[in-house]
């Protein structure tokens, strides 16, 4: 697998306007730029549209621009300063899709609400994810895409095998309404 030289940041803005996100984003971006891992960084923004359509537009632009990968970061996250470096390093280590953990804040605080699944319909706990870890990476069956990196060849393979759209909120094959990233991840397995 070739080393990445260009990435596009898929930024979906939905009136969240969190200055904490912007500060954390640019600190992490500066760390990525100074790491020397990437030669080219593009921003691909979508504002206010349906999330599945917005992700589609970002992917189409990334492919048209011949970017090696898309880094997705939900615009309401506050991320650690080396988080983009970690995503690129994981991709360069041979993981065509890599993601960081995060959880839903709107649910019961006592619950972990991690949006990652090992192989079941039940979200994994941190203990379960750590127990399955090997060399700093845990292979999972499903994870949310709001903090992830996806290589261009993954999108090309999904399109070749299933056509488009890459992202959609109704999965006719599974017969359910789902999150757009669930729809996508189902097609990468």
Please state which of the ranges 28-37, 85-94, 130-139, 166-175 shows the lowest mean pLDDT. 130-139
pLDDT at 110: 57
Specify the pairing of strand 6-13 against strand 142-143. unpaired
pLDDT band at 15 (very low <50, low <70, confident <90, very high): low
Q: At what angle do helices 51-64 and 152-162 cross, to 10 degrees?
A: 110
If you write DSSP's letter for every residue of 119-159 in order, what string do you get? SSSSPPPHHHHHHT-BTTB---SEE-SSEEEEEHHHHHHHH
Question: Is the confidence at residue 106, as pLDDT, over 60?
Answer: no
* pLDDT exceeds 70 at position 16: no
Burial of 51 (0-12, 13-18, 19+ CB in 10 A): middle
Once rounded to an integer, what is the mean pLDDT over residues 106-117?
Answer: 65
Lowest mean pLDDT among 73-77, 118-122, 132-136: 118-122
């Amino acid at each position: 697998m070739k080393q990445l030289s260009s990435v596009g940041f898929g930024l979906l803005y939905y009136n969240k306007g969190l200055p904490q996100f912007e500060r954390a984003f640019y600190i992490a971006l500066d760390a990525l730029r100074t790491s020397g891992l990437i030669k080219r960084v593009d921003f691909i923004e979508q504002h206010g549209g349906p999330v599945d359509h917005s992700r589609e537009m970002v992917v189409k632009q990334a492919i048209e621009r011949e970017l090696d990968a898309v880094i997705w970061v939900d615009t309401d996250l506050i991320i650690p300063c080396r988080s983009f470096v970690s995503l690129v390093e994981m991709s360069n280590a041979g993981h065509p899709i890599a993601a960081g953990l995060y959880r839903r804040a709107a649910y019961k605080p006592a619950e972990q609400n991690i949006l990652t699944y090992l192989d079941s319909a039940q979200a994994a706990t941190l203990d379960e994810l750590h127990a399955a870890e090997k060399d700093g990476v845990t292979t999972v069956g499903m994870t949310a895409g709001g903090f992830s990196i996806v290589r261009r060849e993954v999108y090309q393979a999904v399109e070749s095998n299933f056509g488009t759209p890459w992202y959609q909120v109704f999965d006719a094959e599974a017969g359910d309404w789902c999150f757009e990233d669930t729809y996508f991840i189902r097609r990468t397995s």
